[in-house]
């Protein structure tokens, strides 16, 4: 009897032949473009066994491949059978390059248009034309046809996000976005990203892990009225929205798009967010499609004063939980033989003591030694390592609180570690400080300041392969656009009110990993006397000691040492009053002592 994934691959090829297709292109996503998926949308995992958060699968008649990024190289090797699927790094061998080599003239490559963005489709179309092949839309998705025990879509109840946390009513938000539609000449806005729907309507849900989202859709009219297309089982009588929001079954979405097209409406849809199937449906129905940035994304990224106060308060409480955890780790970690999973469980326990805590913001990265060299490592019973002296422990974690979302990474010395490790920790710290202290003109993007995080590493011929910072939502997604700090370029202009991470790192394969991450708030710095430009800068929100035992003071400038000491003085001042255990307070005092 064939192994499950072999049988599934064989069944998929039969289903493709029956549908008139020779191959299939399957990105790991859902109709909303979610980062974390409900079990019913985990098609890649079901087909291949790979459970990473970024993947594309391509199946052809005689070969197949799974593509992911450098975060998941080891996981691909562990989870994917190489006799069934080739395993490739996206950066080195993107799917289009693989298809250039293996797609044959005359073949038809199947696609699910509701899982594909237009840009991706156009790239594939150009490749297919060059090869003399064709693209073929497959509805329904052929994986769904053969996935006989596919879980049902989630039906968790949605709930209101109160104005005391949201800062603005849904009506205020809808009116502001409606004014943007007027300016762009649009009659309607199609919203498919679940976090944008959540922000617009001030609702949250529990449909997917880590992100408090209700998977649904919305159509906003230019007069501020809104149609919320959602599974009715998710909407209980306790969820009361204002009269300008009409709740309709989610099955009404495609007919609603047909009606907008038949009426000749101008519909704004963001091609970076809205998948091709919805755009195609609107165009075929006769709608005038306005492809532009969804104005919700920028409005959501710029936090209002209430959300900012919530972030400040949540970071303080989250910092206290981190301090209790780190003090416990220092007292017991090595002596008790604590392992990675047990350490992560203890941190979860500390956060869960907060009445506003709603769960982890992402899977905690709890990594020792060589496991820490994998930037997105996740401990399993098979990989679970004990905390051992002579190396470092990296913990990257965050919480979802009703008033904010947190994300913090600390690298901890386990006993005495080699001087070379301390040097590289300090180089990373220099980059972290450079971002934290950056001042830049209004209109600057994160890509323009990313090099500040890398300069100290570059001077030693070192670097890290991930971005320096991502946007963070307000009791929403821990990874939020359009702002980011990345050498890859792109991203929105930084604006006062945005929250981003500041997380440079360094990774020595097979040995150790280092990352120091705080969240920062973009603030106005005004125009300096005699200056010509309005300036912005960052306010560090995260309050948690940086391990002084790993710092080489001689590598820091006087200004950098001042930053570390000032930051630690602030951490002690704000966190110490929240600690009930004198032992935790004493630990914090030692951890925050001047360099």
Residue 374 banded pLDDT, cuts 50, 70, 90: confident
Residue 1 banded pLDDT, cuts 50, 70, 90: very low
User: Cis before residue 583, ω within 30 degrees of 0?
Assistant: no
What are the tens digits of pLDDT across the range 399-427?
Answer: 999 999 999 999 999 999 999 999 999 99
| Mean pLDDT of the region 203-227 | 97
Residue 73 banded pLDDT, cuts 50, 70, 90: confident
- Is pLDDT of 249 > 80? yes
Q: Which range among 69-83, 227-241, 310-324 shows the weakest confidence by mean pLDDT?
A: 69-83
| Mean pLDDT of the region 130-159 | 96
- Is pLDDT of 364 > 80? yes
User: Residue holding tokens 């416990």?
Assistant: 328
C-alpha 462/C-alpha 507 separation (Å) is 9
The whole model's pTM is what? 0.94
At residue 345, the pLDDT reads 97
Residue 465 banded pLDDT, cuts 50, 70, 90: confident
3-class SS of residue 117: coil
| Mean pLDDT of the region 16-40 | 96
C-alpha 225/C-alpha 187 separation (Å) is 11
Residue 153 banded pLDDT, cuts 50, 70, 90: very high
Residue 167 banded pLDDT, cuts 50, 70, 90: very high
Neighbours of 116 (CB within 10 A): 20
At residue 450, the pLDDT reads 97
What mean pLDDT is reported for the chain? 96
User: Backbone phi, then psi, for 313, in 5-degree steps?
Assistant: -65, -45
At residue 336, the pLDDT reads 84
- Is pLDDT of 392 > 50? yes
C-alpha 394/C-alpha 369 separation (Å) is 8
At residue 337, the pLDDT reads 87
What are the tens digits of pLDDT across the range 492-540?
Answer: 999 999 999 999 999 999 999 999 999 999 999 999 999 999 999 999 9
Neighbours of 232 (CB within 10 A): 12
| Mean pLDDT of the region 473-478 | 98
Structurally, at CATH architecture level, domain 4-146 sits in: 3-Layer(aba) Sandwich (3.40)
- Top-confidence residue, 356 or 91: 356
| Mean pLDDT of the region 175-199 | 97
| Mean pLDDT of the region 285-306 | 97
At residue 453, the pLDDT reads 98
- Is pLDDT of 218 > 80? yes
Residue 77 banded pLDDT, cuts 50, 70, 90: confident
CATH number of 159-300: 3.40.350.10
What are the tens digits of pLDDT across the range 123-141?
Answer: 999 999 999 999 999 999 9
| Mean pLDDT of the region 275-283 | 97
By CB neighbour count within 10 A (0-12 exposed, 13-18 middle, 19+ buried), where does 590 fall? exposed
- Is pLDDT of 274 > 60? yes
Domains 4-146 and 159-300 share a fold: yes
Say if CB 500 and CB 474 are below 8 A apart.
no
- Top-confidence residue, 71 or 333: 333
- Is pLDDT of 2 > 60? no
CATH entry 2.60.40.180 includes domain 302-591: no
User: Which tokens hold the place of 313?
Assistant: 């308060």
At residue 201, the pLDDT reads 98
At residue 333, the pLDDT reads 82
Domains in the chain: boundaries: 4-146, 159-300, 302-591
| Mean pLDDT of the region 577-594 | 98
Share of the chain above pLDDT 70, in %: 100
Closest CA relative to residue 457, chosen from 387, 516, 385, 526: 516
Say if CB 342 and CB 594 are below 8 A apart.
no
509: left (phi over 0), alpha (psi -120 to 50) or beta: beta
C-alpha 495/C-alpha 503 separation (Å) is 19
Share of the chain above pLDDT 90, in %: 92
- Is pLDDT of 102 > 70? yes
């Amino acid at each position: 009897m064939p192994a499950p994934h072999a049988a599934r691959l064989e069944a998929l090829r039969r289903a493709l032949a029956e549908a008139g297709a020779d191959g299939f292109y399957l990105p790991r996503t859902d109709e909303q473009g979610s980062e974390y998926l409900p079990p019913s949308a985990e098609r890649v995992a079901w087909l291949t066994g790979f459970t990473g958060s970024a993947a594309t699968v391509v199946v052809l008649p005689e070969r197949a491949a799974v593509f992911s990024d450098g975060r998941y190289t080891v996981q691909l090797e562990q989870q994917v059978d190489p006799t069934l699927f080739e395993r490739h790094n996206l950066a080195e061998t993107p799917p289009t390059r693989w298809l250039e080599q293996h797609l044959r003239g005359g073949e038809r490559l199947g696609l699910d248009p509701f899982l594909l963005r237009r840009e991706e489709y156009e790239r594939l179309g150009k490749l297919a034309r060059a090869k003399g092949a064709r693209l073929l839309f497959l509805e329904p998705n052929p994986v769904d046809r053969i996935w006989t025990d596919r879980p049902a879509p989630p039906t968790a109840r949605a709930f209101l996000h109160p104005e005391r946390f949201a800062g603005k009513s849904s009506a205020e938000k809808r009116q502001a976005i409606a004014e943007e539609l007027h300016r762009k000449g649009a009659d309607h806005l199609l919203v498919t990203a679940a976090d944008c729907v959540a922000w617009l309507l001030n609702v949250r849900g529990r449909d997917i892990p880590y992100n408090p989202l209700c998977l649904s859709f919305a159509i906003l009219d230019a007069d501020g009225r809104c149609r919320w297309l959602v599974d009715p089982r998710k909407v209980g009588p306790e969820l009361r929205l204002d009269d300008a929001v009409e709740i309709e079954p989610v099955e009404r979405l495609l007919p609603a798009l047909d009606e907008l097209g038949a009426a000749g409406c101008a519909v704004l849809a963001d091609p970076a967010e809205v998948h091709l199937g919805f755009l195609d449906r609107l165009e075929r129905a006769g709608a005038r499609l306005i492809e532009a940035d969804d104005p919700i994304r920028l409005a959501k990224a710029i936090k209002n004063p209430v959300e900012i106060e919530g972030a400040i308060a949540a970071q303080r409480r989250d910092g206290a939980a981190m301090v209790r955890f780190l003090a416990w780790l220092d007292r017991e970690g090595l002596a008790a033989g604590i392992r990675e999973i047990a350490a992560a469980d203890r941190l979860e326990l500390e956060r869960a003591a907060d009445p506003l805590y709603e769960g982890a913001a992402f899977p905690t990265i709890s990594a020792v030694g060589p496991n820490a060299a994998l930037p997105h490592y996740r401990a399993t019973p098979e990989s679970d390592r004990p905390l051992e002296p002579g190396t470092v422990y990296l913990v990257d974690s965050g919480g979802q609180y009703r008033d904010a979302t947190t994300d913090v990474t600390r690298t901890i010395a386990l006993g005495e570690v080699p001087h070379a490790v301390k040097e590289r920790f300090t180089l990373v710290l220099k980059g972290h400080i450079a971002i934290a202290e950056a001042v830049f003109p209004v209109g600057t993007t994160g890509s323009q300041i990313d090099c500040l995080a890398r300069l100290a590493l570059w001077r030693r011929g070192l670097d890290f392969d991930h971005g320096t910072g991502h946007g963070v939502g307000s009791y929403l997604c821990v990874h939020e656009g359009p702002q980011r700090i990345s050498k890859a370029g792109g991203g929105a202009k930084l604006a006062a009110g945005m929250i981003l991470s500041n997380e440079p790192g360094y990774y020595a394969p097979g040995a150790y990993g280092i990352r120091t991450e705080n969240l920062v708030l973009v603030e106005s710095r005004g125009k300096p006397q005699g200056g010509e430009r309005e300036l912005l800068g960052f306010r560090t929100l995260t309050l948690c000691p940086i391990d002084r035992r790993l710092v080489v003071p001689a590598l820091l400038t006087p200004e950098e040492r001042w930053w570390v000491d000032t930051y630690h003085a602030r951490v002690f001042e704000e966190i110490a009053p929240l600690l009930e255990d004198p032992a935790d307070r004493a630990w914090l005092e030692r951890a925050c002592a001047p360099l």
